Amino acid sequence: MDGLIKKELYLLKIGGSLIAGQRNPNEIKYSEIRRILKEIDNARRERGFNIIISHGSGAVGHAPSKHYDVPNGFRSEKARIGSVITERACNRLNGIVTEIANDIGMPVFSFSPHSFSITNNGKISSVYAAPLKAALRYNWVPVTYGDVMMDLKQGFSDISTEEVLRALANSFSPEKIIVCTDVDGLFEGNPKLDAGARLIRKVDRKNIKMALGCAGPSLKVDITGGMKTKISLLYNAVKGTGTRGYILNGGRRGDVYKFLVGQEVDYTEVVGR
């Protein structure tokens, strides 16, 4: 990473399931957005780490994307219109997150992935990291999100927030990638369907195959995959590096703050060595 940025750097995802509806594209959880941002900001002020936040969009983005078949790119003018509608929906939610952050005194600055990177068949293939590095150097908290992208092969594509994190990890070599979602981590089976499923506390090269076998899709309107996407992209991001990945429950009040200041909470750790 840029030599001028000397603090520890964390990349943190706020899951769309925490801040938006699962099925209703008009549902936005304003008070949860505020609570989670406050937990992050309190920890950041106490510990002094640098952080890039990235958020998902829940049904706000997934519903129009699915309706217009955006992930498969340019197949029809209808899909092109859908790309615009989906991009606006994700951006609108990002505007709300950014404004709430400003309202609580957190110095965030919004960066849409389609303006600092490009995809090739749905995968980010190049990143222009200079603006984010400049923002970090001057103590901003860059905020980014799952987005509709210009795509070199298929015209446009729709990427998960996890894909944004994977690409940013490549450019920034963060100490930690933290994925906050609506469950405590990776379980042996989907805990929303099987209350007896046990938490898998660590994923590494020895059990990654088993972990991917346990991880399934989410139960909502979803176009970027649920737990499976988290495990595969987190593992890809940390593989062969010293970065550690974590999946934890941002829906449980206090867990995000506690994790960031080093207190004990439940999570799954993903390591690549």
Ligand X SMILES: Nc1ncnc2c1ncn2[C@@H]1O[C@H](COP(=O)(O)OP(=O)(O)OP(=O)(O)O)[C@@H](O)[C@H]1O
Residues at the contact surface with ligand X, assessed by CB under 6 A: 15-18, 56-58, 161, 181-183, 186-187, 189-192, 214-216, 218-220, 224, 226-227
178 versus 183: smaller Cβ distance to ligand X: 183
In angstroms, rounded to a whole number, what is the distance separating the alpha carbons of residues 189 and 73?
A: 32
136 versus 226: smaller Cβ distance to ligand X: 226
> CB of 252: closest distance to ligand X in angstroms?
13
2 versus 232: smaller Cβ distance to ligand X: 232
> CB of 131: closest distance to ligand X in angstroms?
24
Residue 27: phi and psi, rounded to 5, are -90, 125
> CB of 105: closest distance to ligand X in angstroms?
25
108 versus 180: smaller Cβ distance to ligand X: 180
> CB of 12: closest distance to ligand X in angstroms?
12
In angstroms, rounded to a whole number, what is the distance separating the alpha carbons of residues 68 and 89?
A: 13
> CB of 115: closest distance to ligand X in angstroms?
20
Helix intervals (H) in 153-241: 161-172, 208-214, 227-238
> CB of 216: closest distance to ligand X in angstroms?
3
In angstroms, rounded to a whole number, what is the distance separating the alpha carbons of residues 132 and 202?
A: 31
5 versus 199: smaller Cβ distance to ligand X: 199
98 versus 224: smaller Cβ distance to ligand X: 224
Number of H helices, E strands in the chain: 10, 12
The neighbouring-strand residues paired with 220 are: none
End-to-end Cα distance, the chain: 20
> CB of 185: closest distance to ligand X in angstroms?
7
* 8 Å CB contact between 193 and 218: no
15 versus 73: smaller Cβ distance to ligand X: 15
In angstroms, rounded to a whole number, what is the distance separating the alpha carbons of residues 145 and 165?
A: 9
The set of residues, in sequence order, having a beta carbon less than 8 Å from that of 12 and lying 6+ positions away, is 40, 51, 52, 53, 54, 177, 178, 179, 180
66 versus 244: smaller Cβ distance to ligand X: 66
**Rounded to the nearest 10 degrees, how much is the dihedral formed by the CA atoms of 244, 17, 170, 153?**
150
Using CA of residue 14, residue 155, residue 170, residue 207, what is the dihedral sign? positive
> CB of 1: closest distance to ligand X in angstroms?
26
